């Protein structure tokens, strides 16, 4: 990963060493939260003067706050508008306070980034939108998006890739067009249903890509098998088959359901409807459904559209066990052992 030296210099000018500035840039860009263990892992140092010095600088300058992690350890939150502005990220959501579960996920995410510094990450929303829309020519309306309502006198704002999970290129993988790696970060407590919701948000984008890789990141391997099974059923298998027939069936079942035509609902249809709502989610599928209802889209036209955007694909799923992750509980216990 090549860090922008001009941004590192502007952070260092606030009174940090170059190593500290590089670490803070990674935190601000990818997580917003960190523990001193993360800094020590990055710098190769041990608990003591260097970690204490960084903590004191951050708190004294008002660039970070420290938060008790459920009584088990300390987590630092890098929130300073001044520091983020120095790297042109003053509007980053990483500056805001978040829930306990969000923090857990960001700590695992930062571990993953620090263990994969040789990868090239798409850092910002602008970077991600630019890659898919300008480099690959993907329509903007198929990107995973969320609409935020403004005040009474402002327009709603559309934001893309709001999950902020790592999107990157692994230098060990080659392909053309560029093989992008998506990811999902499980803090260790997320349900497989949450993965399904995440995959549904990306479903339409996946259909516009001829090759991609999906990496399931977690601190424990317990859910790897279920995650792969869910990815296969929701993404890989549908992408590798003619999906137009399933879309037409989904439209038909959905139409019957919305018109209350089921006297006694068929379990199989209801299960297919629930699965279809996850798989065929997004503005584009809604437009197709409305056109089908209105009679302006027939079966031949729908099959033709999906034949045009369903090339031979190379889709891969991988799991990644975060090697160095320890919760603040582990971190606190280690400090007690060392002190003894």
Q: Residue 269: pLDDT band by 50, 70, 90 thresholds?
A: confident
C-alpha 192: how far from chain center: 15
How many other C-beta atoms lie within 10 A of the C-beta of residue 172? 7
Beta strands 314-321 and 74-78 are unpaired
Please give the model's pTM, rounded to 2 decimal places: 0.78
Q: Which two tokens stand for residue 212?
A: 């991609």
Give percent of the chain above pLDDT 70.
89
Q: Measuring CA to CA, how many Å separate 6 from each of 25, 82, 86? A: 11, 16, 9
Q: Any idea which residue has 């003067």 for tokens?
A: 49
User: Concatenated DSSP letters for 157-201?
Assistant: EEEE-TT----EE-TT---SS--EEEEEE--S---HHHHHHHHHH
Tell me the pLDDT tens digit for each residue of 13-38: 999 999 999 999 999 999 999 999 99
Nearest C-alpha neighbor of 288 from the set 321, 324, 248: 248
Tell me the pLDDT tens digit for each residue of 200-258: 899 889 988 988 999 999 999 999 999 999 999 989 987 877 778 888 889 999 999 89
Tell me the pLDDT tens digit for each residue of 85-132: 999 999 899 999 888 889 999 999 999 999 999 999 999 999 999 999
The per-residue pLDDT for 38 is 94
């Amino acid at each position: 990963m090549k860090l922008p030296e001009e941004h590192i210099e502007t952070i260092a000018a606030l009174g940090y060493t170059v190593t500290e500035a590089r670490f803070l840039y990674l935190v601000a860009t990818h997580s917003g939260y960190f523990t001193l263990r993360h800094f020590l892992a990055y710098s190769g140092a041990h608990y003591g003067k260097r970690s204490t010095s960084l903590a004191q600088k951050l708190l004294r300058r008002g660039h970070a706050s420290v938060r008790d992690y459920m009584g088990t350890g300390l987590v630092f939150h890098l929130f300073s508008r001044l520091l983020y502005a120095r790297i042109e990220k003053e509007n980053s959501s990483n500056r805001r306070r978040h829930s306990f579960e969000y923090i857990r996920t960001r700590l695992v995410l930062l571990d993953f980034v620090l263990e994969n510094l040789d990868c090239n990450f798409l850092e910002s929303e602008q970077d991600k939108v630019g890659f898919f829309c300008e480099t690959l020519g993907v329509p903007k309306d198929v990107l995973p998006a969320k609409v935020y309502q403004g005040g009474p006198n402002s327009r709603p704002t559309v934001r893309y890739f709001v999950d902020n999970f790592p999107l990157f290129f692994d230098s060990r993988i080659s392909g053309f067009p560029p093989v992008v790696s998506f990811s999902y970060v499980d803090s260790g407590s997320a349900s497989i249903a949450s993965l399904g919701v995440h995959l549904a948000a990306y479903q339409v984008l996946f259909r516009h890509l001829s090759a991609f890789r999906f990496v399931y990141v977690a601190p424990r391997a317990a859910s790897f098998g279920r995650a792969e099974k869910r990815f296969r059923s929701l993404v890989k298998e549908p992408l590798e088959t003619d999906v137009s027939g399933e879309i037409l069936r989904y439209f038909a079942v959905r139409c019957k359901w919305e018109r209350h035509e089921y006297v006694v609902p068929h379990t199989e249809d209801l299960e297919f409807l629930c699965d279809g709502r996850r798989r065929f989610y997004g503005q584009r599928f809604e437009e197709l459904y409305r056109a089908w209802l209105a009679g302006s889209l027939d079966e031949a036209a729908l099959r033709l559209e999906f034949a045009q955007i369903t090339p031979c694909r190379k889709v891969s799923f991988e799991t990644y066990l975060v090697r160095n992750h320890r919760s603040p509980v582990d971190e606190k216990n280690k400090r007690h052992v060392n002190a003894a």
